[in-house]
Amino acid sequence: MIVTEVKEKKTWLLTLFVLLFAIAGTAFAADDDALIKRALQVLGPLPASMPSEENPITPEKVRLGKILFYEPRISLDGTVSCSKCHPIALYAADGLRKSVGHNCTENPRNDPTVFNAAGQISEHWIGNRTSVEDQAKQAVIGPPSFGMPSYESVEKVLRAYKQYELLFKAAFPLDKEPATIDNFAKAIGAFERTLITPAPLDAFLKGNKDALTAQQKSGLGTFIDRGCVGCHFGPFIGGQMYQKFGIFEPYQKYTKSEKVDEGRFAVTKNETDRYVFKVPVLRNVAMTSPYFHDGSVDKLEEAVWIMGKIQLGKDLPKEQVQDIVAFLHALTGKIPEDAMTVPLLPSLQ
């Protein structure tokens, strides 16, 4: 008699637990659905490609562009290639505060990754390059990077290699003289337009509720609620607008920058553009320390706290900062397989 009573109690308790778990489970699932819905209003999964009307992507252009990305012989001292400052192994950023070009010349700013870069309104921190093609073209004569004296001098180097002539011909079959600086820029641009890195966030937004950890989900909610998405929005989580860096307090106070950078003022000479920078893409941000245009901050925790303080006027509590950082880790994406292999470069012989 007593035995059956205990048994009944056990079954009853078990049913209660199962019911509770089921209710909690549905509640979590409903929470996830609501979070996905909210996130889709301000963020969004990465597109499958970053096309350009002026520069349609073809396999031949991408192949040539990838080779040119590794080419150092088009620099003043023969040591500088795109991959020197954007090494794929470091998520296409160089890990330095300020990049170093030919003859050890220091660049004025930190280098952002080229992954997903083609999806932005413009290129560079102050938006002084209109597209990835424009960026690639101007880089070769940039005094702190390749340092070449003229576009003609770059074309001369390329034309000295028979294999480049053939690769350019294959990529631009309608051109009489295909090895030009504009086609150089188009080929590299086409390669960059393939550098898309889908991340756990994309899987989550497409309905895979296990793609993010509980802390990352909480961080995503905080990222939306606290207003980060006011500037870092869209599928690239940034790259779509310019904003003053230091709205509530001057950025120099927190970044310990030794030199004041006036930002977009240098481009427009407009007073309202002083200290204005492009809102950076946050995809792969956990892999591309140090942070900010001056590379002055090493830790993502610190960068996030500074953002709250000077962009939103909020002193974010430690727990919220940690949750946001966990979420930012969910933006680390998969590097396309083709980009993970190193190409062989043409020989003069």
Q: Which residues, at least 6 apart from 192, have a Cβ–Cβ distance to it below 8 Å?
A: 65, 114, 117, 118, 132, 136
Q: Interface with ligand HEC includes 101 (CB under 6 A)?
A: yes
Residues 105-124 that bind ligand HEC (CB under 6 A): 107, 109, 111-112, 114, 117, 120, 123-124
| Cα atoms found within 13 Å of the Cα of residue 303, Cβ hemisphere only | 21
Q: Is 227 in the site for ligand HEC (CB under 6 A)?
A: yes
Residue 145 makes contact with ligand HEC by CB under 6 A: yes
Residue 64 in contact with ligand HEC, rule: CB under 6 A: no
The residue among 200 and 288 lying less far from ligand HEC, judged by its C-beta, is: 288
Tell me how far apart the terminal alpha carbons of the chain are, to the nearest angstrom. Answer: 97
**Considering only residues 153-212, where is the footprint of ligand HEC by CB under 6 A?**
188
139 lies in the site for ligand HEC, by CB under 6 A: yes
Cβ atoms within 10 Å of 99's Cβ, excluding its own: 22
* Among positions 36, 46, 303, 326, the unique one binding ligand HEC when judged by CB under 6 A: 303
Question: In the structure encoding, which two tokens stand for residue 148, read together?
Answer: 């070449």
- Candidates 85, 90, 64, 95; CA nearest to 140 is 85
* Stretch binding ligand HEC (CB under 6 A), from 4-12, 20-28, 41-49, 291-299: 291-299
Quote the least distance from Cβ 32 to ligand HEC, whole Å. Answer: 21
**Given the complex with ligand HEC, which of 63 and 109 has the nearer CB atom?**
109
Exactly one of 57, 76, 132, 224 binds ligand HEC (CB under 6 A); that residue is 132
CB environment 49-82: b (16+ within 10 A), e (fewer): ebebeebebbebbbbbbbbbbebbbbbbeeebbb
311 near ligand HEC, rule: CB under 6 A: yes
Distance between CA atoms of residues 223 and 171, nearest Å? 43
Burial of 292 (0-12, 13-18, 19+ CB in 10 A): buried
| Closest separation in Å from C-beta 20 to ligand HEC | 35
Alpha-carbon span 211 to 60, nearest angstrom: 35
Total chain residues near ligand HEC (CB under 6 A):
49
Nearest to 105 by CA among 114, 96, 113: 96
Instruction: Closer to ligand HEC by CB, 136 or 167: give it.
Output: 136
Query: Residues in the site for ligand HEC, rule: CB under 6 A?
Result: 80, 82, 84-86, 99, 101, 107, 109, 111-112, 114, 117, 120, 123-125, 132, 135-136, 139, 145, 188, 226-228, 230-232, 243, 245, 247, 277, 279-282, 285, 288, 291-293, 303-304, 307-308, 311-312, 324
